[in-house]
Structure formats: structure tokens, C-alpha cells
Chains A and B, each alone.
Chain A
Amino acid sequence: MTTVSLTVNGQPVTADVDPRTLLIQFLRENLRLTGTHVGCDTSQCGACVVHLNDQAIKACTILAVQADSATVTTIEGIAQGSELHPMQAAFREHHGLQCGFCTPGMVMSAIDIVNRKGQALDEQTIRDELEGNLCRCTGYHNIVKAVAAGAQAMAQKPLPQAAE
């Protein structure tokens, strides 16, 4: 067993883990943060995207022990109380989901795109940047609309940073 200490959604966490525990397993099974999903488990689909030190990564392809001392933000950490993060609200408003399985990863990737590329995003940029996230329901059309709208909403509103 190896001790791992990190900050998850603003809360310090310390645990003894088998070194082969993936970060996604640690989040879901140890911390019961089941909003982050396991889709393909082969770093293709993006359902497991979380932020590690404010950068989007696939939590299925990193060991929990590699996140030692790091700050992790999951889908559970972006709303402020009952108020959705602007990107979450945009996905709801624009019907950017059907079954919802890919949505946590889509939202975390979308926020990362805004962090890196700014708040005025054209359609091609959004489609290119979402290449690591698969959705098998929507055909992406409404996801792209949601990301563009969410990006603009993030410009208008101070970001909920409490959990970061």
C-alpha cells in the first residue's frame, strides 16, 4: 500500500491505496464521487475527464498515486450549492445530452477549452478540441451549441472557483 494525499473538490484527502489503483477508481470507489464515469477504460472516450491541477486529463489513464499532492476537480466540484456552473446550465438549456453518460467528461473538457482558448469559441475550434470526448447519442450538434453558449456565459459571470 502507498499513501496518497491530494485535494479533491477543495477537500483534503489522504488514503492508503494499492499502487495499481487508477485515479478514476479512487474517485469513484474510495471517495464515492460517481459523477465521473468509466466509458471505454482505454483513454478514448473522455467520460472520465477531470481536472488535475486545473488541466483536463483522463482519470482512467493515471494512477491515484501519481496525483499525490495534486488538486483534482470533478464534475461534483463545479456547481455552487444548487446553482449550476454556467457550462452545466448551458448543456441543460441547449439539450447537449441525451443519455447523459458522456456529459460529465464533456462539461469538464468544455471548461478546460474555455480556460485554454478563451470565451469566444467558433464551431470548428469546439469540434477540434472535443476530439477526445465521444458521445453516441447526440451527434454532437447540441453539445457544440452548449459549449459555445457556456463559454459566453462564463464570460458574463464570475466563475465559481470555490472548489478549484
Chain B
Amino acid sequence: MYAFEYHRPTDVKQAAELVAQLEETKFLAGGQTLLPTMKMRLAAPANLIDLGQVAELRGIERSADTLSIGAMTLHAEVANSADVRTAIPALTELAELIGDPHVRNRGTIGGSVANNDPAADYPAACLALNAAIVTNKRTIAADDFFQGIFATALDEGEIITKISFRVPSQAAYVKFRHPASRYALVGVFVAKHADGVRVAVTGSGANGVFRVPEMEQALSRNFAVAALDGISVPAEGMSSDIHADAVYRAHLVGVIARRAVQAAASSRA
């Protein structure tokens, strides 16, 4: 990797000051994507601002209808949290399926959301659970946050501080995992709230994570697998690569969505 200057702020204010003063900066969260990218010289920041010592960015808080997870909270911490398991067990299962145990001990939720990898898991949870992405400047609704592959609503130098999920009455995440990379070939998060059902798909969209309105409307009327009879997603708009072509991915979205609805409908109401 190319050389860089290393900076280690201890609070969000310091981090924001550093990013305002310095040129060509990147924030380092858990580094499980950024460091490999830097090794391949696909990223070469002049200044790396490590958020690892910013204690205020860590932790999990639960209230009656929201679950808030600090941006620097590790995947392993989410997977092992009793609060998460009680409030949104589907999120526990999602965190348990990210990467491998070693990656989960370094990778963070904020890093995953800010990166918006088209095959990452958390973006699907954010969309389906109608999450609020809270930054040091504002609060962004998940629907406005994800703006295409590796693109988000974040401004230059803006720092995600936490992600607040609305606690659903029922939810499930089902992932068709690529066996080598462990990323989602298709991942579907289904969540039911009092005001309706959301279905979010990761791993498959040519433009990144997306919702399936037709499925959502049908499931909002009848939260059962049968409600999806006759509903499919078109291959147009799906990504194609050596692992799976667009037609296969579109088919798989239908299969995995049905499994997710089945799992969500049988979860505790």
C-alpha cells in the first residue's frame, strides 16, 4: 500500500476538525474493506483518520421502539448483544453471517453502511427496518441514504455516529451466501411494522440495495408466503457476474424472499 499520514482522534469533534484541515482523507473504521482496498492500491488516501479510539461511537442502546447501534460497534458485538437479540433477532442472525469470526471481530456497522458495498448485509437491514442514519451533522432516512453502488448521501468528511433501527413486530433476514467471499449473492430482509411491510434486497441490484414495492404491498395486505404468488422481480436491473447472471439472481430473489417471509411470519409476533 502507498504511504499515508496516520491520525487517531479520540472524539467525533476532533475527527471532524482533522477532516476539515487535511487533504485526501479517509476514515478508517474496522478496516476490513478499506485496508484490503489500500493494499491493492485501489485506494490511496494521503491521510488516514482512525476512528478506533472514538469511544462515543460504540455501544448499543434500546428503547421501546428503536434500537440504536453506534457506528464503531463490531459485528461480533451486535451478534452477541442480548439487547439486539431481544429487540430484533433478525439483526443478530444477519451479524452472525457477516464474513468469518475474525472479520466480525474487526468490522463495524458504520463502516459497512458508509461503504455501501452492493453485496453487504447491513444496507438491506437499514432499508427494511426504515433506519435513521445519524451523522455528526444530521439524520438521514435509509430510503435517502443509499444512492447506488458504493454511493451514499454522506457529504465529504461527514461521520456516521449511529444507526437507529425501528423495532419491527416480525422480521427475518435470509442470505444466499457466496461460499468463498461470504458476501450475499442474494440477501433479503423482510420486516413488518404497524404501518406496513418492507422487503429489501442486497447482493443482486445493479444499482445496489433496493426495495420490492410489489412484494411489500402484497405482504402488507396478507403477511404470508402465499401473498407472493405470481410476483417475481425482472432480470432487468440485476447485476451479472461470473458467480451468477441476472436471470439467475432475479429467480433467486423470489426464492429467498419467500424463505424470508416464511421465517418472519413464524417469528414471534
Contact = CB atoms under 8 A, between A and B. Distances in A.
A63 B6 contact: yes
Given A2-B6, A20-B1, A109 B102 contact: yes
B5 interface: yes
Interface of A is mostly: mixed
Contacts of A132: 99-103
B257 to A, nearest CB: 25
A83 B267 CA distance: 49
A43 to B, nearest CB: 6
Given A63-B35, A66-B31, A66-B50, A56 B3 contact: no
B138 to A, nearest CB: 29
Contacts of A56: 101-102, 105
A20 B102 contact: no
Count class of interface residues, chain A: 20 to 34
A42 B36 contact: yes
A62 B36 contact: no
Interface in A16-74: 18-20, 22, 41-44, 46, 49, 52, 55-58, 61-63, 65-66, 68
B6 A55 contact: no
Contact of B106 (A18, A19, A42, A57): A57
Given A20-B1, A42-B36, A63 B105 contact: no
Interface residues of B, number: 27
Given A65-B50, A66-B50, A57 B3 contact: no
A58 B36 contact: no
A66 B1 CA distance: 16
Nearest to A51: B105
Interface string B10-53: 00000000000000000010011001101100000000101010
B150 interface: no
A52 to B, nearest CB: 8
A132 B32 CA distance: 13
B4 interface: yes
Nearest to B1: A20
A122 interface: no
Interface string B73-95: 00010000000000000000000
B101 A41 contact: no
Contacts of A58: 102-103, 106
A129 interface: yes
Residue in A18, A22, A63, A113 whose Cβ sees the most chain B Cβ within 10 Å:
A63
Given A2-B6, A19-B4, A19-B5, A43 B50 contact: no
A127 to B, nearest CB: 12
Nearest to A67: B52
Interface string B89-120: 00000000001111101100000000000000
Contact of B32 (A49, A55, A61, A112): A61
A29 B120 CA distance: 34
Nearest to A113: B101
20 contacts: A2-B6, A42-B36, A42-B39, A43-B36, A43-B102, A49-B102, A52-B105, A56-B102, A57-B102, A58-B102, A58-B103, A58-B106, A61-B36, A62-B31, A63-B6, A63-B28, A66-B52, A131-B100, A131-B101, A132-B99
Interface of A: 2, 18-20, 22, 41-44, 46, 49, 52, 55-58, 61-63, 65-66, 68, 109, 112-113, 116, 129, 131-132
Given A58-B102, A66-B50, 12 more contacts: A42-B39, A43-B36, A46-B102, A49-B102, A52-B105, A56-B102, A62-B106, A63-B28, A63-B50, A65-B8, A109-B101, A116-B101
Interface of B: 1-6, 8, 28, 31-32, 35-36, 38-39, 48, 50, 52, 76, 99-103, 105-106, 180, 182
